[in-house]
Amino acid sequence: MDKIHIILFYKFTDIKNPEDFIEKQLNFCTKERLLGKILVAKEGINGSLSGSKEQVYKYKEYLTGQDQFKDIIFKEEIGTFSPFKKIIVRQKKEIIRMDQDLDLEKRGNYITPQELMELYDSDEEFIVLDTRNNYESEVGKFKNAITPDIDTFREFPEALKSLEDKKDKKIITYCTGGIRCEKATSYMIKEGFKNVYQLQDGIINFCQQFPNTLWEGKCFVFDQRLLSHVDPDAEPITHCVHCNQSCDRYYNCKNPTCDDFIVICEKCSQDYNGCCSEKCVDEYKAYTTRKSRERQGYKSKENTQER
């Protein structure tokens, strides 16, 4: 079976004509049969693509061939299937939404994976801050990290208020690939935090360099995999929502009106129809019954018209 190459990338840079840029990106990806999602705004690009080694290489060559992207960093993983079904290139107001007026030239200094390892081994006092959403940190985090209870990145500024008395402390932020830390640290500096850093190139890069060290659990990703394969041997830190056994099977609740991310083992997934609660099981059964009747009614109507 051919291996699938998956790349994650972003860059904050002035894109003067997003509409034209989007058209060229979409045309190239369509021609090369790449799958994934690229967000474009005047502030930059944020994307994740999948394809063969050759397809991904061509895209990297294409993007870095443009002066403003010649230094863009790609985080790359290998998979056994494409985590995307189609190619989407879309314009947004922000490539990572925070709804804050920020000067992104003023952001936290980078700390390399090696430097983070050394920091953990030192006697220096520091704070490690997760800038991701709660359902991401639930399945994986750095040792002793603070994990804010937020559902979206837009809630980060409000969550940061709990660290008002830590403005003089050394704080290391991290996220999956680095993009959220760029804005998080920029906001923190704006709010008066004095000693702010961001993990260079994020969790995926760290785990590739130092597997089975400071990272606990798995790494959530925003594609069909849900969990990255970057550290497949890591022990789960989560438990099945029903039986509470150690587990890191992350799925969406089958009930369409819920659709929450849940951790559910294989047995309970069968016993509860892939749902997070008895209520959702009942709603899911009602939903599938209704859809089945609608299909049958549509077919019966067609048959009646044919006669």
pLDDT tens-digit series, residues 170-223: 999 999 999 999 999 999 999 999 999 999 999 999 999 999 999 999 999 999
Instruction: Determine, yes or no, domain membership for 226.
Output: no
Could you tell me if 186 and 258 lie in one domain?
no
Structural domain contains residue 98? no
Same-domain pairing of 82 and 123: no
Domain check: are 85 and 115 in the same one? no
- Quote the pLDDT of residue 298: 60
Percent over 90 (pLDDT), the chain:
86
Instruction: Classify residue 204: in a domain, yes or no.
Output: yes
pLDDT 10s digits, 268-293: 999 999 999 999 999 999 999 998 88
Residues 159, 243 within the same domain: no
Phi-psi region of 284 (alpha: psi -120 to 50; beta: other; left: phi over 0): alpha
Q: What is the DSSP letter of 139?
A: T
Domain that holds residue 290: 238-307
Does the residue 34 lie in any domain? Answer: yes
Residue 96 belongs to some domain of the structure = no
Supply the pLDDT for residue 235: 84
The CATH number linked to 37 is: 3.30.70.100
DSSP states along the chain: -PPEEEEEEEEE---S-HHHHHHHHHHHHHHTT-EEEEEEETTEEEEEEEE-HHHHHHHHHHHHTSGGGTT--EEEEEESS-S-SSEEEEE-S-SS-------TTS-PEEE-HHHHHHHHHSS---EEEE-S-HHHHTTEEETT-B----SSGGGHHHHGGGGGGGTTSEEEEE-SSSHHHHHHHHHHHHTT-SEEEEETTHHHHHHHHSTTSSEEE--B-SSTTSB-SSSTTPPP--B-TTT--B---EEE-S-TTT--EEE--HHHHHHTTT-SSHHHHHHHHHHHHHHHHHHHHHHHHHHHHH-
**Would residue 180 count as lying in a domain?**
yes
Which of the listed residues 217, 247, 269 is the one where a domain comes to its end? Answer: 217
Given a cut of 60, is residue 300 above it in pLDDT? Answer: no
Tens digits of per-residue pLDDT, 140-170?
Answer: 999 999 999 999 999 999 999 999 999 999 9
Shared domain for 213 and 113, answered yes or no, is yes
CATH number at residue 161: 3.40.250.10
Both 117 and 210 in one domain: the answer is yes
Assess whether 202 and 247 both reside in one domain. no
Confidence of residue 307 (pLDDT cuts 50, 70, 90): very low
User: Are 76 and 9 in a shared domain?
Assistant: yes
Q: Which of 158, 186, 217 is the last residue of a domain?
A: 217
Same domain, 47 and 86: yes
Res 224 pLDDT > 90: no
Output the pLDDT for position 244. Answer: 94
CA end-to-end span of the chain, whole Å?
A: 49
In this structure, the answer to whether residues 134 and 204 fall within a common structural domain is yes
C-alpha–C-alpha distance, residues 229 and 75, integer Å? 13
Residue 72 counted as domain residue = yes
Mean pLDDT on 13-28: 97
**Which entry of 175, 247, 268, 280 is annotated as an active-site residue?**
175
The domain tally of the chain equals 3
* Tens of pLDDT, residues 232-265: 777 888 899 999 999 888 889 999 999 998 999 9
Active site residue 181: no
